[in-house]
């Protein structure tokens, strides 16, 4: 048996029978042997009694063991892998995967392996997600080594994607789990960018906790590291805040459409166990009309009509940023929320501030006059106080790009800026020296292209038409128009779902598999293991594969093509 | 109380308030009051006055009563109806809905028989009165199908508050019948396969908006899931896998399920194009099989068309379609006929030999005559895509029905030729448009029929645009369509619903509806669909759904 480095394999091999890993590791060598998964297969952590393995790593190991048998994914070839069974007379059988953590936890009592969660909760740039994986072809133990439990989790995610299932002829429900390209060697796979996210808006329409957990599971499959939770907005306030119970009481769509403190802790824990940090956003000072249901004194231009003069979408309403009382309220609210979150990033939003709203608000005009400040100066003061409160809780502030590019607002050097209006604006943000998260509407907005949702607008398209296909997103270049020096400011990126036209009914289908695209862009970087540039032609068969695997795991990812095409890579290319 | 024409009702303020009646499709004549009325705990549907009660009508009554209990849809207002608590509490209770037959037959025909009768003979009208005082509600019709449509309307009247089903707008008086006889939905089960349960759920949803035809594009070049007696090898070798098939038993199950819900199933076996998959079992009948590059031989991969000039292929096709047609009791059977690729035949040596001096169109004429003739022999009227009439010199029987899909602008030409037509134009009714190119290696590609067709777009369609009075009678109706290159069971519901309901109302109530007035009712329908287990897509934030008009462009 000889290892075939991917770069010498022909184009047809890389298109037709590549290990369908997503995101593709940065280094990958593979063979051509079949390897069975032994019915007695087990996963052990080297040098540590299983009882001393941190609970979240135990959980991850348990999930991997279950999935290997339950994924039951037939290989995407005509016949779905039936011929694989006949191809190899006496394949090896794998009965052990060893997880090895460096440095070794030491001997005897008190030996501690740090948890996945503890790594996830570090600063986004400080997490170690690297791992190496070796699966020998002869059935000898496979091995994942890493410097952290998080790295082991990433390795387990890769390992899970190697396996297929083939039904044994005539025996419905019985089959074998096997891989077809052993041996597999992944050396020092690690993400090109630490921030690989997905944003969900739970305010335009509500998503129950199980929907969020299912989304986190799918995110974890493709090694995403950040869940950006746009939890509240002008339309509803589903977040329960113990210090401000009236906000959700009056602002949630209904008693049931709320996230309790327990729900939030549950989601944060569930995410961390899966290698995902939760970045919560409380968008201010715009996008806050709903606060007026319980605190009308803090909101300018509430439900002002026509809304198009006061907000980018209905209903209008913004925090009275020039009011000292409103600033106090906002600081107290954000502090209360941030103090319960263990992650190191917190977003205060800051997009789409409407000037006209403040111009016509007598209270704001009075406050400005009394303080002698311009609106921009008031915004600076407001932002400064809120950001100080966030930073005081050990968090880095995340803002939308307007805060850095359109307003004269002082921002701390470590502020993370999300670029959404246009991918072109990333260079402007980098020029100012801020860290960038790519979230451009022209590549990564998942809601575009479903028609205008505003009523009485027959025949108009969505504002960010057309639909952002996976292919379009895949061509995004994180470093376009950045200098070499600026490149280090890019933390990563994410696809986003604004939920004006989404709900639990279409969540999976609008998100998956498209959101997996940015997961690969920001993990794998610009080049395949072969050294060739990533391309949609090479990616499609692998994206089909992860999509079908998601469906097997209960995520309703959509078909990208007729099944005929999915089984015949390249045959349906343009 | 006065019956208002629907156009007047739509303009009224009450239709903008979502606590009003939110029926879909809007009845042709409707009047409502302002009195609260609740359903009694012992509410029942009485069939005593009917000359007989067919089993499928009895089942429909049972389903309606089930929905009255299980919908639990709260009114789409900010407090979800809480402020109506005392009004509902003190409301009169409706104890009975009486079904009455106004026809002359001594026994009612079954709903299923009426559903598959000749499309032009179907009677779907009904009247429904729900008094405000708790007195008996009455549903009258002179057909079983009409009674069924009325039951469907009755099931949409009610909201739920703390376990009580209620309306705030009694008395209600409805006189209703569809403007068009054909109100369809087309599903492609060949690009990706849909299990029987998904089709049944779709049929349920169709029936809730009074759609009466499933156009089942059952096979295509990519797969052949239909098990045809005598031709089993087609599905054995052409289905995606052994489980991704429709057996004759499955087909019967689907047809029966549809008919019991007032829906006729029209099967399509698309010929002579879109048949590449047949080559897996009958390579001798297929020209340009999987020829490359596919773009020269077909509109999408894989290439392959029936050798229409070959007598053996003509015989084979006639036998196959006849055998398939026998599985379906509908009067209609579609032979497709779209997107025939001339180059495929030009380069096929076998076809060039078989043409023997004929043109391809002459051979197509012979092929079509033979196939349509065979279908006529088993009692079927042919349905074809527009190219067969407009692009090819093919003689079609006068009763042929033509589906207009390439452009709504082609409707006039079909009517001018004197053929009955069904609106299925991609520029208004294609549900698959706007999701990006599905062919691979095409990063900047949009779907060929961009943009996405919104519900408002199809709602604004005029079925008689550019037609003379004389030509209007050729319009049987219309349908939304789902081609499934980018659809499967995982996104079936949200691709179709609630958008296809827009066509359902257009062809039931008639054109000219106002999208502003329709939106609150469509929200209502979407929420009710979700309650009934159909994953319809939300149209707006819930904030907007609860506040009609507040999210309009000019609000």
Compute the average pLDDT of residues A434-447.
98
Pair A397, A452 in one domain? yes
Domain assignment present for residue A568? The answer is: no
User: For residues A379 and A409, is the Cβ–Cβ distance under 8 A?
Assistant: yes
Residue of B nearest to A80 (CA): B241
Mutual orientation of helices B360-377 and B311-325 as an angle, nearest 10°? 30
A210: tokens are: 């199980």
The residues that bridge with A166 in the sheet, in sequence order, are A176
Of the residues A167, A352, A406, A500, only one is catalytic, namely A352
A573 interaction partners in chain B (CB closer than 8 Å): 439-442
User: For residues A468 and A443, is the Cβ–Cβ distance under 8 A?
Assistant: yes
Domain assignment present for residue A83? The answer is: yes
Which of A156, A154, A130 shows the shortest CA–CA distance to A143?
Answer: A156
Q: Which of B440, B444, B534 to mutate to test the interface with A (most CBs of A within 10 A)?
A: B440
Pair A121, A240 in one domain? no
The residues that bridge with A100 in the sheet, in sequence order, are A145
A246 close contact with B: CB closer than 8 A: no
B515 close contact with A: CB closer than 8 A: yes
Which of B5, B11, B423, B554 shows the shortest CA–CA distance to A458?
Answer: B554
Q: How far apart are CA A536 and CA B442, in angstroms?
A: 8
Q: Give the C-alpha distances (Å, rounded to integers) separating B91 from B38, B133, B368.
A: 6, 9, 63
Q: Cβ of B446 and A557 within 8 Å?
A: no
A488 close contact with B: CB closer than 8 A: no
A13: tokens are: 């091999």
> Is a pLDDT exceeding 70 seen at residue A9?
no
Pair A35, A164 in one domain? yes
A449 interaction partners in chain B (CB closer than 8 Å): 434-436, 451-452
B484 close contact with A: CB closer than 8 A: yes
> What are A211-266's pLDDT values in tens digits?
999 999 999 999 999 999 999 999 999 999 999 999 999 999 999 999 999 999 99
A559 interaction partners in chain B (CB closer than 8 Å): 192, 484-488, 490-491
Q: Cβ of A540 and B441 within 8 Å?
A: yes
Pair A173, A71 in one domain? yes
> Is a pLDDT exceeding 80 seen at residue B11?
no
Domain assignment present for residue A313? The answer is: yes
Q: Cβ of A253 and B542 within 8 Å?
A: yes
B529: tokens are: 């669909």
User: For residues A274 and A218, is the Cβ–Cβ distance under 8 A?
Assistant: no
Domain assignment present for residue A554? The answer is: no
Which of A293, A337, A336 shows the shortest CA–CA distance to A317?
Answer: A293
CB-count burial class (<10 Å; 0-12, 13-18, 19+) for A532: middle
B546 interaction partners in chain A (CB closer than 8 Å): 253
B304 interaction partners in chain A (CB closer than 8 Å): none
What is the DSSP code (8-state) at residue B552?
B
**pLDDT (0 to 100) of residue A88:** 66
Q: Cβ of B488 and A570 within 8 Å?
A: no
Contacting B residues, span 411-440, partner chain A, CB-CB under 8 Å: 434-440
Instruction: Please give the tally of structural domains in chain A.
Output: 2
CB-count burial class (<10 Å; 0-12, 13-18, 19+) for A147: middle
Domain boundary among A524, A544, A560: A524
B223 interaction partners in chain A (CB closer than 8 Å): 562-564
Distinct helix (H) and strand (E) counts, chain B: 21, 17
B485 interaction partners in chain A (CB closer than 8 Å): 559, 561-562
> Is a pLDDT exceeding 80 seen at residue A16?
no
Cα within 13 Å of Cα(A268), Cβ side: 19
Q: Cβ of A571 and B302 within 8 Å?
A: yes
Q: Cβ of B488 and A503 within 8 Å?
A: no
Which of B308, B310, B285, B297 shows the shortest CA–CA distance to B224?
Answer: B285
A249 close contact with B: CB closer than 8 A: no
A336 close contact with B: CB closer than 8 A: no
A334: tokens are: 């954000």
pLDDT band with cut points at 50, 70 and 90 for residue B510: very high
Q: How far apart are CA B424 and CA A515, in angstroms?
A: 33
**pLDDT (0 to 100) of residue A84:** 83
Pair A42, A167 in one domain? yes
Q: Which of A250, A545, A564 to mutate to test the interface with B (most CBs of B within 10 A)?
A: A564
At which residue do the structure tokens 């079925």 appear? B463
Percent of chain A with pLDDT over 90: 89
B11 interaction partners in chain A (CB closer than 8 Å): none
| DSSP string for residues in B414-473 | HHHTT-EEEE--HHHHBTTTTS---SBS-TTPPPTT-S---HHHHHT--TTTT--HHHHT
Q: What are phi and psi for residue A536, nearest 5 degrees?
A: -65, -30
Q: Find all residues with CB under 8 Å of A79, minimum gap 6, and list them.
A: none
pLDDT band with cut points at 50, 70 and 90 for residue A107: low
Q: Which of A256, A303, A448, A455 to mutate to test the interface with B (most CBs of B within 10 A)?
A: A455
Which runs of E-coded beta strand occur in B302-378?
Answer: 305-306, 332-336
Whole-angstrom distance between the N-terminal and C-terminal Cα of chain B?
Answer: 32
Q: Cβ of A559 and B488 within 8 Å?
A: yes
> Is a pLDDT exceeding 70 seen at residue A422?
yes
> Is a pLDDT exceeding 50 seen at residue A32?
yes
> What are A513-561's pLDDT values in tens digits?
999 999 999 999 999 999 999 999 999 999 999 999 999 999 999 999 9
Q: Domain range spanning residue A174?
A: 6-189
> What are B302-314's pLDDT values in tens digits?
999 999 999 999 9
B107: tokens are: 């026994």
Output the average pLDDT for chain A: 94
Domain boundary among A124, A157, A189: A189
User: For residues A242 and A253, is the Cβ–Cβ distance under 8 A?
Assistant: no
A206 close contact with B: CB closer than 8 A: yes
B555: tokens are: 């609000």
> Is a pLDDT exceeding 70 seen at residue A2?
no
Query: Smallest Cβ distance to B543: which of A235, A501, A562?
Result: A235
| DSSP string for residues in B479-519 | EEEE--TT--TTTHHHHHTTHHHHHHHHHHH-S---HHHHH
Pair A94, A146 in one domain? yes
Q: Give the C-alpha distances (Å, rounded to integers) separating B283 from A151, A291, B191, B275, B550.
A: 53, 68, 20, 11, 60
Q: How far is B241 from chain A (nearest CA, A)?
A: 8
Would you call B339 a catalytic residue per the annotation?
A: yes
pLDDT band with cut points at 50, 70 and 90 for residue A105: low
Pair A170, A207 in one domain? no
Q: CA angle at residue B205 from B203 to B211, to 5 degrees?
A: 70
Domain assignment present for residue A561? The answer is: no
> Is a pLDDT exceeding 50 seen at residue A406?
yes
**pLDDT (0 to 100) of residue A106:** 62
Domain assignment present for residue A420? The answer is: yes
Q: Cβ of A455 and B459 within 8 Å?
A: no
Output the average pLDDT for chain B: 95
Pair A228, A139 in one domain? no
Helix segments in B55-99, DSSP class H: 55-70, 85-89
B435 interaction partners in chain A (CB closer than 8 Å): 449, 467, 469
Q: Find all residues with CB under 8 Å of A262, minimum gap 6, and list them.
A: none
**pLDDT (0 to 100) of residue B12:** 38
**pLDDT (0 to 100) of residue B3:** 42
Of the residues B177, B253, B339, B350, only one is catalytic, namely B339
> What are B244-276's pLDDT values in tens digits?
999 999 999 999 999 999 999 999 999 999 999
Size of interface A-B (CB pairs under 8 A): 233
CB-count burial class (<10 Å; 0-12, 13-18, 19+) for A134: middle
The residues that bridge with B542 in the sheet, in sequence order, are none
Q: How far apart are CA B434 and CA A347, in angstroms?
A: 32
> Is a pLDDT exceeding 60 seen at residue B18?
no
What is the DSSP code (8-state) at residue A130?
-
Residue of B nearest to A511 (CA): B491
Pair A13, A82 in one domain? yes
A304: domain CATH number is 3.20.20.80
Domain boundary among A189, A215, A246: A189
Q: Cβ of A561 and B486 within 8 Å?
A: yes
Contacting B residues, span 285-304, partner chain A, CB-CB under 8 Å: 290, 294-295, 300-302
Q: SS3 of A490, please?
A: strand
Percent of chain A with pLDDT over 70: 94
**pLDDT (0 to 100) of residue A448:** 98
At which residue do the structure tokens 């398939």 appear? B324
User: For residues A236 and A203, is the Cβ–Cβ distance under 8 A?
Assistant: yes
Which of B116, B122, B99, B405 shows the shortest CA–CA distance to B264?
Answer: B116
B543 interaction partners in chain A (CB closer than 8 Å): 204, 234-236, 253, 314-315
Pair A208, A166 in one domain? no
> Is a pLDDT exceeding 80 seen at residue A459?
no
Domain assignment present for residue A529? The answer is: no
Q: How far apart are CA B363 and CA B367, in angstroms?
A: 6
Q: Cβ of B494 and A505 within 8 Å?
A: yes
Domain assignment present for residue A566? The answer is: no
**pLDDT (0 to 100) of residue A172:** 67
Q: Cβ of B434 and A503 within 8 Å?
A: no
> What are B65-122's pLDDT values in tens digits?
999 999 999 999 999 999 999 999 999 999 999 999 999 999 999 999 999 999 999 9
Strand-strand pairing, B137-141 and B92-101: parallel
Compute the average pLDDT of residues A136-149.
97
Pair A216, A73 in one domain? no
Q: SS3 of B391, please?
A: coil
Q: Give the C-alpha distances (Å, rounded to integers) separating A118 from A122, A123, A150, B51.
A: 7, 11, 9, 75
> What are B409-468's pLDDT values in tens digits?
999 999 999 999 999 999 999 999 999 999 999 999 999 999 999 999 999 999 999 999
pLDDT band with cut points at 50, 70 and 90 for residue A12: very low
**pLDDT (0 to 100) of residue B264:** 98
> What are B491-504's pLDDT values in tens digits?
999 999 999 999 99
Q: Give the C-alpha distances (Å, rounded to integers) separating B555 from A37, A41, A303.
A: 62, 63, 10
A56: domain CATH number is 3.30.379.10
B290 interaction partners in chain A (CB closer than 8 Å): 571
Strand-strand pairing, A164-167 and A175-189: antiparallel
Q: Cβ of A471 and B519 within 8 Å?
A: no
Compute the average pLDDT of residues A415-425.
97
Q: Cβ of A561 and B485 within 8 Å?
A: yes
Pair A156, A239 in one domain? no
> What are B168-198's pLDDT values in tens digits?
999 999 999 999 999 999 999 999 999 999 9
A475 close contact with B: CB closer than 8 A: yes
Q: Find all residues with CB under 8 Å of A345, minimum gap 6, and list them.
A: A124, A226, A277, A279, A395, A396, A398, A416
B169: tokens are: 């707008």
Q: Cβ of A459 and B439 within 8 Å?
A: no
**pLDDT (0 to 100) of residue A110:** 54
> What are A319-378's pLDDT values in tens digits?
999 999 999 999 999 999 999 999 999 999 999 999 999 999 999 999 999 999 999 999
Q: Cβ of A306 and B485 within 8 Å?
A: no
Q: Give the C-alpha distances (Å, rounded to integers) separating A480 from A476, A489, A493, B387.
A: 8, 13, 13, 47
Q: CA angle at residue A493 from A491 to A495, to 5 degrees?
A: 165
Q: Cβ of B494 and A253 within 8 Å?
A: no
Q: Cβ of B454 and A452 within 8 Å?
A: yes
Q: To the nearest 10°, the Cα dihedral for A263, A269, A273, A279?
A: 90
> Is a pLDDT exceeding 80 seen at residue A109?
no
A450 interaction partners in chain B (CB closer than 8 Å): 434, 452, 454, 537
Contacting A residues, span 366-425, partner chain B, CB-CB under 8 Å: none
């Amino acid at each position: 048996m000889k290892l075939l480095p991917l770069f010498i394999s022909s184009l047809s091999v890389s298109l037709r029978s590549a290990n369908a890993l997503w995101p593709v590791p940065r280094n990958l060598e593979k063979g051509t042997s079949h390897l069975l998964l032994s019915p007695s297969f087990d996963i052990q952590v080297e040098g540590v009694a299983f009882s001393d393995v941190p609970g979240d790593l135990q959980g991850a190991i348990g999930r991997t063991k279950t999935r290997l048998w339950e994924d039951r994914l037939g290989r995407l070839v005509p016949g779905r892998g039936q011929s694989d069974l006949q191809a190899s007379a006496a394949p090896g059988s794998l009965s052990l995967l060893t997880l090895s953590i460096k440095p070794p936890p030491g001997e005897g009592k008190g030996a501690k392996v740090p948890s996945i969660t503890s790594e996830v909760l570090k600063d986004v740039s400080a997490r170690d997600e690297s791992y190496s994986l070796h699966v020998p072809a002869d059935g000898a133990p496979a091995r994942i080594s890493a410097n952290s439990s998080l790295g082991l989790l990433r390795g387990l995610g890769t390992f899970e994607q190697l396996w297929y299932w083939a039904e044994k002829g005539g025996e419905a429900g019985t089959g074998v789990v096997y891989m077809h390209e052993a041996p597999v060697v992944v050396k020092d796979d690690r993400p090109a960018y630490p921030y690989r996210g997905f944003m969900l808006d739970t305010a335009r329409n509500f998503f129950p906790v199980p929907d969020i957990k299912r989304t986190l599971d799918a995110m974890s499959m493709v090694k995403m590291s950040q869940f950006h939770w746009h939890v509240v907005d002008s339309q509803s306030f589903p977040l329960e805040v113990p210090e401000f119970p009236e906000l959700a009481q009056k602002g949630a769509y209904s008693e049931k459409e709320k996230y309790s403190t327990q729900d939030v802790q549950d989601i944060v824990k569930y995410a961390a166990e899966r290698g995902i940090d939760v970045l919560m956003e409380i968008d201010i000072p715009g996008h806050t009309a709903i606060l007026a249901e319980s605190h009308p004194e803090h909101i300018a231009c509430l439900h002002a009509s026509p809304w198009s003069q006061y907000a980018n979408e209905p209903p209008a309403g913004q925090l009275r940023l020039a009011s000292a009382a409103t600033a106090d309220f906002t600081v107290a609210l954000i502090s209360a929320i941030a103090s319960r979150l263990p992650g190191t990033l917190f977003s205060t939003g800051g997009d789409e501030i409407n000037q006209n709203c403040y111009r016509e608000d007598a209270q704001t005009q009075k406050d400005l006059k009394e303080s002698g400040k311009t609106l921009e100066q008031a915004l600076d003061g407001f932002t400064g106080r809120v950001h100080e409160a966030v930073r005081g809780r050990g968090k880095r502030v995340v803002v939308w790009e307007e805060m850095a590019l359109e307003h004269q607002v002082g921002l701390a050097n470590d502020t993370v800026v999300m670029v959404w209006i246009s991918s072109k604006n990333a260079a402007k943000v980098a020029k100012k020296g801020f860290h960038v998260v790519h979230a451009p509407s022209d590549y990564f907005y998942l809601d575009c292209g479903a028609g205008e949702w505003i009523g009485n607008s027959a025949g108009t398209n969505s504002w960010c038409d057309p639909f952002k296909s996976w292919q379009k997103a895949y061509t995004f270049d994180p470093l376009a128009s950045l200098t070499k020096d600026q490149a280090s400011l890019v933390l990563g990126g994410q696809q986003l779902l604004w939920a004006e036209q989404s709900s639990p009914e279409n969540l999976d289908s609008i998100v998956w598999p498209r959101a997996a695209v940015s997961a690969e862009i920001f993990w794998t970087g610009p080049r395949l293991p072969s050294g060739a540039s990533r391309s949609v032609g090479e990616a499609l068969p692998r994206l089909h594969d992860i999509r079908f695997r998601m469906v097997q795991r209960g995520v309703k990812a959509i078909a990208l093509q007729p099944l005929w095409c999915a089984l015949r890579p390249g045959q349906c290319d343009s | 109380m006065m019956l208002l024409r629907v156009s007047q009702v739509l303009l009224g303020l009450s239709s903008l308030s979502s606590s009003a009646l939110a029926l879909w499709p809007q009845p042709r004549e409707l009047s409502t009051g302002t009195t609260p009325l609740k359903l009694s705990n012992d509410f029942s549907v009485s069939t005593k006055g009917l000359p007989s009660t067919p089993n499928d009508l009895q089942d429909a009554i049972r389903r309606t009563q089930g929905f009255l209990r299980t919908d639990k849809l709260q009114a789409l207002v900010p407090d979800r109806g809480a402020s109506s608590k005392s009004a509902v509490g003190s409301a009169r209770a409706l104890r009975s809905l009486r079904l009455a037959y106004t026809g002359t037959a001594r026994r009612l025909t079954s709903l299923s028989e009426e559903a598959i009768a000749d499309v032009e003979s179907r009677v779907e009208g009904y009247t429904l009165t729900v008094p405000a005082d708790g007195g008996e509600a009455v549903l009258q019709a002179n057909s079983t199908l009409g009674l069924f449509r009325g039951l469907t309307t009755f099931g949409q009247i009610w909201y739920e508050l703390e376990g009580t089903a209620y309306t705030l707008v009694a008395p209600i008086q409805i006189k209703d019948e569809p403007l068009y006889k054909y109100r369809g939905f087309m599903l492609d089960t060949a690009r990706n396969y849909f299990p029987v349960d998904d089709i049944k759920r779709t049929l349920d949803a169709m029936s809730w908006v009074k759609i009466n035809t499933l156009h089942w594009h059952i096979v295509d070049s990519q797969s052949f899931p239909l098990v045809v007696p005598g031709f089993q090898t087609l599905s054995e070798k052409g289905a995606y896998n052994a489980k991704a098939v429709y057996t004759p038993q499955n087909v019967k199950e689907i047809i029966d399920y549809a008919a019991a819900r007032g829906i006729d199933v029209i099967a399509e076996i698309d010929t002579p194009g879109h048949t590449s998959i047949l080559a897996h079992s009958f390579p001798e009948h297929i020209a340009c099989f999987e020829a490359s590059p596919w773009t020269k031989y077909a509109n999408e991969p894989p290439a392959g068309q029936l050798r229409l000039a070959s007598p053996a292929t003509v015989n084979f096709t006639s036998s196959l379609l006849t055998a398939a047609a026998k599985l379906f009791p509908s009067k209609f059977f579609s032979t497709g006929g779209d997107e025939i690729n001339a180059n495929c035949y030009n380069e096929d040596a076998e076809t060039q030999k078989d043409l023997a001096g004929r043109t391809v169109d002459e051979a197509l004429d012979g092929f079509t005559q033979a196939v349509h003739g065979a279908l006529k022999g088993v009692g079927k009227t042919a349905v074809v895509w527009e190219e067969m009439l407009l692009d090819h010199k093919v003689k079609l029987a006068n009763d042929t029905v033509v589906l207009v899909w390439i452009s709504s602008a082609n409707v006039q030409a079909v009517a001018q030729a004197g053929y009955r037509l069904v609106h299925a134009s991609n520029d208004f009714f294609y549900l698959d448009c706007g999701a990006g190119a599905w062919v691979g290696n095409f990063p900047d590609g949009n779907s060929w029929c961009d943009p996405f067709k919104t519900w408002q777009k199809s709602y604004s369609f005029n079925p008689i645009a550019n037609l003379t009075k004389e030509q209007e009678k050729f319009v049987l109706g219309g349908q939304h369509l789902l081609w499934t290159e980018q659809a499967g069971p995982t996104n079936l519901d949200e691709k179709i619903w609630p958008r296809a309901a827009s066509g359902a109302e257009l062809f039931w109530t008639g054109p000219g509806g106002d999208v502003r007035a329709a939106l609150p009712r469509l929200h209502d329908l979407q929420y009710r669909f979700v309650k009934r287990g159909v994953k319809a897509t939300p149209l707006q934030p819930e904030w907007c759904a609860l506040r009609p008009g507040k999210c309009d462009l000019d609000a």
